[in-house]
Amino acid sequence: MNYTKTKIMGVINANEDSFFQNSRFEGKNAIIRIEQMIEDKAKIIDLGGVSSRPGSAPVSIKEELSRVKPIIDLVYEQKLYEKVLFSLDSYEPKVLEYALDRGFKIVNDITGLQNDEVCKITAKYNATAVIMHMQNDPLNMQKNPEYKNVILDIEDFFKERIEKAKQFGIKDIVLDVGIGFGKTLDHNLQLIKNLKYFKHFGYELLVGASRKSMINMICPTSIEERLPGTLAIHLESIKNEASIIRCHDVKEHYQAIKVFEAINSAEIL
């Protein structure tokens, strides 16, 4: 396994209710943060205008676009898309098209390409689709999630959505098992431990467990104090063949991953 191909995806939220306050930015402040993330070695910047934390409610398309549009416009004007890949965390076709028309290259869809229009737009712009698994929706996904077998159930979901993506002409796919999206702590731990299983599809795997509540369930801590737990999960995910890590703390992840890579590339005597 070549661990040196790990890519860090930095998170920028353009909303008032994302679960981690320090990831919320608007307009020019978002651009300053994006530039810092680029300097800190992020390879992808993931912008989102709607919170997907457990219990969060959807917002109108107009509201979502009003949140992300100023940032998308500044990214386009300053040609920041020439320095790093930009991803939009959205499942609204109109919002996605606005971003893809202005230099964004990745559709990060928490509904896993449920909407045919999202598939059409992703294919139209030859964008990469991140297919994420979520049971139910953010409003009720953490109300007693159940699976016959979490690994095999998600495998079936990926099979179906990969086939759908191909039918619409989507060529580039990334898979995300959706840590914390309709899963218990045990489900999350099983998925991280067995992540390598999903490599048989032949696509890159993305993991995003940054500061999530599963850390608090293992070791009670506030959101602000969950960086060590985040790093532990993400390094284990890389060990189990994740190659894209979605996180809030780019600089700290870069250092941890570089040390991890150095250890794993050392000669075995």
Per residue in 39-49, is it b (16+ CB within 10 Å) or e — as a string? ebbbbbbbbbb
Q: Alpha-carbon distance 10 to 12, whole Å?
A: 7
**Beta carbons within 8 Å of 164's beta carbon, 6+ residues apart:** 113, 119
Q: Is 193 a residue of the active site? A: no
Q: How many residues does the chain have?
A: 269
Beta bridge partners of residue 87, listed in sequence order: 46, 106
What separation, in Å, do the N-terminal and C-terminal C-alpha atoms of the chain show? 18
Is 268 within 8 Å of 32 (Cβ atoms)?
A: no
Q: How far apart are CA 87 and CA 11, in angstroms?
A: 10
* Catalytic residue selected from 148, 246, 251, 258: 246
Asked about 246 being catalytic, the answer comes back as: yes
Q: Among 105, 212, 226, 239, which one carries the catalytic annotation? A: 212
The 3-state secondary structure of 17-70 reads: CCCCHHHECCHHHHHHHHHHHHHCCCCEEEEECCCCCCCCCCCCHHHHHHHHHH
Q: What are the catalytic residues?
A: 212, 246
